[in-house]
């Protein structure tokens, strides 16, 4: 750290500061240092901290998809506030300025064909806020190709494929002349691949929660571009698909091809389920609390019982006093016997005798009203008998089931499994219904609204709905049917599953097998299976319609931009940018392009894909210091002309400007 | 926060610049309008790669294998009967998220 500080202090005023604005990372540093001094992610927290009243810059492991924003939109600088904070951070780390200004010439990067607004934001900030003496604007893709010498740079013929974080550029250069009309851009990049990877995995495993660093690590470690995508998919799908679809010739060359294609194998990652460890003391405390609660409950129950008893006794006394006044009242007698049964003074059979008191009396002695009562009592008596019989039968059945269980355990098990399957199906259907209830446009909800409308459309003159509390239960009855039924069937399922667990030792394995399928869908395992995900996320470079970007793939773009130009271009294809680090992208391009052209094709990856741009800037700034003033915009120019006119921008080998 | 290297009048100046930019016109609101100001052939929109002429290949939305079939209710593409059963059993909200990944923003009715 001390060494670095000395480096900053010794830096004189005419040493240029180089800043490479990338969509994912910003690299900055003095031209004298070997590697970029400051490397930060270009994301800023949306919300201010309560302590420091300032926004935080994203760390390397913060989740960029939530609550963070970058100054870039589709590789264009759009948000000036976020950019200002990132610049502040950079200049503070570099210890660059004093007395209200940063007294260093500055070299910045921009993307191809930036809009005026993006340039305005950058220039205004640099000249007004930091009062920089001069700014040079160059294109990042062009700087990344610059080696040491400007003359060789101006004679080269190359096809640059710049794989950025949000965009991909294809740039043909012939004899040092950039052919601006043939530059093509694809609106996706490394961030899209990561997002696609994240979304697909999270959707297939809704019960697990993934963290950003986890996903980022898997994305870097396990994903790669498939050299033959269709064949790779079949390989993942299983041996049937892989060998079944081939014709005879390819079957003969199988061994050779497999070595060439570098087919990937699926990866299984176990995710441990984290459980809270409960100490013995906590358990003791919980037990004590429970016992205390139990004692309290018992006391309260006894008190309430005593209160009830005293109340009932009081009622009895009052009723008996009334009975003394008129002794022929039957209802009063009934009430008294009821109370006596409740208090336990008289056995239960006395009640029944009172209930069916007219059964044994002959018809001649009865009045017609009493005859009616007798008929009613007969029916009731028969029903009660039926109930008793049913209860007895049920008890016998249970005994039989126990016998059945002991004699033929296999059949009994089958019966239980069938029962379980039926209940599971019912629960699934109800779940579907419930989920449909949540969305307003579903057929179920529309039906419900229709029935409610019918209820409201009665031809009554006076609207007295809602006077009774019972009226509102119509609404409840419409919605609550499912809940209660669901609980009942769940309870049944629990009972059956417990029985099965007791009887069948390999019950769980059987259930897993019944759900199990080739794709492991809906199994809720604590395991992540990376099969197609390993190649699918990187495939969007070649098939952008996978994530809904309606543009050509990378191969078609190269074809289009090299159309009508020298074929030498195809022998000098160079991949730069962070996306060039992905595995297999070079082999894939080689394979696809050789099938399109009949000329030889050579592709290479830049020596340092990520920091190559900054290195190119450093080499240029160190070797051609005298040309820097010629290429850059000075503060006097800015004050005279302003950012509105084209005259202010200078044309140079790395520039973005066409006549 | 005040830094040593920053112009002390920047805060006031920034508001001025912002208000001027807004008062000029609405031309800076989106990228399309920004491009239309100077009508050169080399601008941000013109270097965009055109849509592909080849028919797009169809892949299963859930497993990623080649898809031969399409579910008329959820509009999802699927590869075999196992996936079909899975699709029919999950709620419509997750079907919409699967569609959003592929770039279809239509809403499922009924």
In this complex, is the C-beta atom of A131 within 8 Å of any C-beta atom belonging to chain B? yes
Q: What value does the mean pLDDT of chain A take?
A: 83
Asked if residue A161 has pLDDT above 90, the reply is yes
User: For position B37, what pLDDT does the model report?
Assistant: 56
Closest Cα in chain B, distance from residue A85 (Å):
11
d(CA B108, CA B110): 7
Sorting pLDDT into bands at 50, 70 and 90, what band is A492?
Answer: confident
Q: Which of A117, A228, A434, A560 should be substituted to probe chain B, the one whose Cβ sees the most B Cβ atoms within 10 Å? A: A117
Sorting pLDDT into bands at 50, 70 and 90, what band is A109?
Answer: very high
pTM of the entire predicted model? 0.74
Provide the CATH number for the domain around residue A102.
Answer: 3.30.420.40
In this complex, is the C-beta atom of A533 within 8 Å of any C-beta atom belonging to chain B? yes
Q: Which of A73-77, A357-361, A373-377, A591-595 has the lowest mean pLDDT?
A: A357-361
Q: Does residue A404 sit within a domain?
A: no
Query: Best-predicted range by mean pLDDT among A137-151, A229-243, A484-498?
Result: A137-151
User: What are the C-alpha distances in Å from B61 to residues A229, A520, B80?
Assistant: 16, 15, 12
Closest Cα in chain A, distance from residue B72 (Å):
16
Interchain CB contacts (distance < 8 Å): A and B: 166
User: For position A10, what pLDDT does the model report?
Assistant: 54
User: For position A185, what pLDDT does the model report?
Assistant: 92
| A271-292 residue pLDDT tens | 877 767 778 888 899 999 999 9
Q: Which domain holds residue A84?
A: 3-147+608-648
Chain A residues whose beta carbon lies within 8 Å of the beta carbon of residue B86: 519, 521-522
| A556-575 residue pLDDT tens | 999 999 888 888 889 999 99
| A219-236 residue pLDDT tens | 999 999 999 898 888 888
Q: Does residue A59 sit within a domain?
A: yes
Rg (CA), chain A: 41
Cβ within 8 Å, pair A435-B110: no
For residue A534, the chain B residue with the least C-alpha distance is B64
Question: Which residue in the set A96, A128, A557 is minimally distant from B49, CB to CB?
Answer: A557
User: For position A521, what pLDDT does the model report?
Assistant: 77
Burial class (CB in 10 A: 0-12, 13-18, 19+), A134: buried
User: For position A245, what pLDDT does the model report?
Assistant: 55
Q: Does residue A77 sit within a domain?
A: yes
User: For position A639, what pLDDT does the model report?
Assistant: 87
Query: Cβ(B77)–Cβ(A148) under 8 Å?
Result: no
Closest Cα in chain A, distance from residue B64 (Å):
6
Sorting pLDDT into bands at 50, 70 and 90, what band is B27?
Answer: low
Asked if residue A246 has pLDDT above 70, the reply is no
Rounded to the nearest 10°, the torsion over CA B25, B29, B32, B38 is 40
- Average pLDDT (A642-657) is 79
User: For position A458, what pLDDT does the model report?
Assistant: 62
Asked if residue A153 has pLDDT above 50, the reply is yes
Q: Does residue A389 sit within a domain?
A: no
User: What are the C-alpha distances in Å from A649 to residues A136, A634, B84?
Assistant: 9, 10, 59
Which is nearest to A489 in space by CA: A394, A425, A398?
A: A425
Query: Cβ(A111)–Cβ(A140) under 8 Å?
Result: yes
Cβ within 8 Å, pair A550-B51: yes
Q: Does residue A505 sit within a domain?
A: no
Residue A28 DSSP one-character state = E
Where do runs of H (alpha helix) occur along A13-149? 80-94, 116-124, 140-143
Query: Cβ(A107)–Cβ(A16) under 8 Å?
Result: yes
Residue A472 DSSP one-character state = G
Q: How far is CA A380 from the centre of its chain?
A: 62
Cβ within 8 Å, pair B5-A101: yes
- Average pLDDT (A162-183) is 91
Q: Which of A17, A74, A87, A113 should be substituted to probe chain B, the one whose Cβ sees the most B Cβ atoms within 10 Å? A: A113
Sorting pLDDT into bands at 50, 70 and 90, what band is A45?
Answer: confident
- Average pLDDT (A42-49) is 83
Chain B residues whose beta carbon lies within 8 Å of the beta carbon of residue A17: none
| pLDDT above 90: percentage of residues in chain A | 24
User: For position A8, what pLDDT does the model report?
Assistant: 53
In this complex, is the C-beta atom of B2 within 8 Å of any C-beta atom belonging to chain A? no
For residue B108, the chain A residue with the least C-alpha distance is A441
Write the Ramachandran bin of A72: left for phi over 0, alpha for psi from -120 to 50, otherwise beta.
beta
Contacts of B94 (CB under 8 A, 6+ apart): A203, A206
Q: Does residue A293 sit within a domain?
A: no
d(CA A410, CA A413): 5
User: For position A3, what pLDDT does the model report?
Assistant: 45
Sorting pLDDT into bands at 50, 70 and 90, what band is A20?
Answer: very high
Asked if residue A2 has pLDDT above 50, the reply is no
d(CA A637, CA A404): 100
| A58-69 residue pLDDT tens | 887 788 888 888
Contacts of A111 (CB under 8 A, 6+ apart): A75, A76, A139, A140, A141, A164, A167, A169
- Average pLDDT (A125-138) is 89
Closest Cα in chain B, distance from residue A26 (Å):
20
User: For position A454, what pLDDT does the model report?
Assistant: 77
Q: Does residue A153 sit within a domain?
A: no
Question: Which residue in the set B13, B65, B82 is minimally distant from A233, CB to CB?
Answer: B65
Strands A106-110 and A17-21: parallel
Show which of residues 220-259 on chain A sit within 8 Å of chain B, judged by CB atoms: 230, 233, 236-237
Q: Does residue A76 sit within a domain?
A: yes
Question: Which residue in the set B5, B8, B52 is minimally distant from A97, CB to CB?
Answer: B5
Contacts of A639 (CB under 8 A, 6+ apart): A127
Sorting pLDDT into bands at 50, 70 and 90, what band is A1?
Answer: very low
Query: Cβ(A225)–Cβ(A539) under 8 Å?
Result: yes
Of residues A478 and A262, more confidence is placed in A262
User: For position A461, what pLDDT does the model report?
Assistant: 58
- Average pLDDT (A31-49) is 87
| B33-67 residue pLDDT tens | 555 555 567 788 888 899 999 898 999 998 889 99
Q: Which two tokens stand for residue A255?
A: 């061994």
- Average pLDDT (A357-376) is 79
Phi/psi at A509 (nearest 5 deg)?
-65, -40
User: For position A573, what pLDDT does the model report?
Assistant: 93
Asked if residue A297 has pLDDT above 90, the reply is yes
Sorting pLDDT into bands at 50, 70 and 90, what band is A95?
Answer: confident
| Total number of domains in chain A | 1
Of residues A644 and A559, more confidence is placed in A559
In this complex, is the C-beta atom of B81 within 8 Å of any C-beta atom belonging to chain A? no
Query: Best-predicted range by mean pLDDT among A205-209, A286-290, A364-368, B20-24?
Result: A286-290
Question: Which residue in the set B49, B94, B109 is minimally distant from A185, CB to CB?
Answer: B49
Query: Cβ(B60)–Cβ(B71) under 8 Å?
Result: no
């Amino acid at each position: 750290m001390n060494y670095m500080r000395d480096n900053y202090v010794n830096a004189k005023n005419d040493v240029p500061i180089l800043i490479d604005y990338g969509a994912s990372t910003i690299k900055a540093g003095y031209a004298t240092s070997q590697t970029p001094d400051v490397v930060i992610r270009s994301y800023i927290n949306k919300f201010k901290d309560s302590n420091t009243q300032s926004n935080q810059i994203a760390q390397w492991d913060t989740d960029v998809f939530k609550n963070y924003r970058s100054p870039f939109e589709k590789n264009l600088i759009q948000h000036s506030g976020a950019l200002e904070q990132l610049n502040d951070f950079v200049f503070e780390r570099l210890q660059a300025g004093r007395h209200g200004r940063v007294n260093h010439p500055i070299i910045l990067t921009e993307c191809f064909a930036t809009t005026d607004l993006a340039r305005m934001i950058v220039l205004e900030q640099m000249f007004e806020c930091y009062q920089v003496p001069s700014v040079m604007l160059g294109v990042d893709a062009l700087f990344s190709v610059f080696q040491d010498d400007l003359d060789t740079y101006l004679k080269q013929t190359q096809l640059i494929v710049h794989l950025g974080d949000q965009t991909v550029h294809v740039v043909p250069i012939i004899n040092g002349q950039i052919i601006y009309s043939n530059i093509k851009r694809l609106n996706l990049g490394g961030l899209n691949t990561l997002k696609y990877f994240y979304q697909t995995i999270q959707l297939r495993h809704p019960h697990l929660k993934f963290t950003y660093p986890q996903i980022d690590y898997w994305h870097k470690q396990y994903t790669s571009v498939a050299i033959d995508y269709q064949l790779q998919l079949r390989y993942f799908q299983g041996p049937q698909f892989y060998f079944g679809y081939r014709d005879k010739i390819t079957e003969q060359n199988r061994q050779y091809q497999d070595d060439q294609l570098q087919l990937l194998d699926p990866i299984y990652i176990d995710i441990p389920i984290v459980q809270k460890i409960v100490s013995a003391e906590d358990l003791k405390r919980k037990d004590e609390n429970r016992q205390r609660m139990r004692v309290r409950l018992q006391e309260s129950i006894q008190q309430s019982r005593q209160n009830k008893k005293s109340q009932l006794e009081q009622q009895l006394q009052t009723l008996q006093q009334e009975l003394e006044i008129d002794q022929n009242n039957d209802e009063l007698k009934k009430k008294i016997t009821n109370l006596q049964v409740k208090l336990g003074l008289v056995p239960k059979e006395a009640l029944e005798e009172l209930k069916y008191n007219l059964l044994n009396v002959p018809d001649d002695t009865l009045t017609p009203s009493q005859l009616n009562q007798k008929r009613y009592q007969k029916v009731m008596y028969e029903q009660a008998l039926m109930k008793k019989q049913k209860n007895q039968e049920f008890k016998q059945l249970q005994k039989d089931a126990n016998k059945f269980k002991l004699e033929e355990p296999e059949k009994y098990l089958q019966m239980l499994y069938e029962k379980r399957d039926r209940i599971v199906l019912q629960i699934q259907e109800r779940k579907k219904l419930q989920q449909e209830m949540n969305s307003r446009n579903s057929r179920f909800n529309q039906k419900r609204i229709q029935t409610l409308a019918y209820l409201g459309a009665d031809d009554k003159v006076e609207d007295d709905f809602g006077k009774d509390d019972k009226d509102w239960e119509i609404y409840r009855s419409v919605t609550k049917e499912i809940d209660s039924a669901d609980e009942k069937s769940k309870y049944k399922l629990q009972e059956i599953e417990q029985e099965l667990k007791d009887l069948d030792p390999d019950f769980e394995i059987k259930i897993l097998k019944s759900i199990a399928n080739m794709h492991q869908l809906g199994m809720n395992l604590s395991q992540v299976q990376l099969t197609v995900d390993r190649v699918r996320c990187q495939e969007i470079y070649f098939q952008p319609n996978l994530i809904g970007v309606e543009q050509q793939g990378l191969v078609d773009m190269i074809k289009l931009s090299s159309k009508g130009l020298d074929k030498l271009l195809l022998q000098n294809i160079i991949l730069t940018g962070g996306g060039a680090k992905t595995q297999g992208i070079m082999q894939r391009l080689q394979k696809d392009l050789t099938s399109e052209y009949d000329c030889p094709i050579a592709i290479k990856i830049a020596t340092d894909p990520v920091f190559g741009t900054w290195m190119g800037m450093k080499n240029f700034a160190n070797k051609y210091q005298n040309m820097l003033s010629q290429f850059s915009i000075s503060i006097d120019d800015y004050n005279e002309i302003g950012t509105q006119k084209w005259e202010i921008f200078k044309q140079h080998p790395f520039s973005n400007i066409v006549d | 926060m005040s830094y040593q290297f920053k112009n002390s009048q920047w805060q006031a100046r920034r508001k001025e610049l912002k208000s001027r930019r807004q008062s000029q016109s609405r031309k800076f609101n989106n990228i399309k309008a920004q491009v239309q100001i100077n009508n050169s052939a080399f601008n941000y929109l013109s270097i965009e790669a055109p849509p592909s002429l080849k028919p797009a290949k169809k892949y299963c939305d859930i497993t990623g294998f080649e898809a031969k079939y399409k579910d008329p209710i959820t509009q999802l593409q699927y590869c075999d009967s196992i996936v079909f059963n899975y699709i029919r059993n999950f709620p419509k909200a997750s079907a919409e998220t699967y569609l959003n990944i592929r770039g279809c923003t239509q809403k499922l009715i009924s």
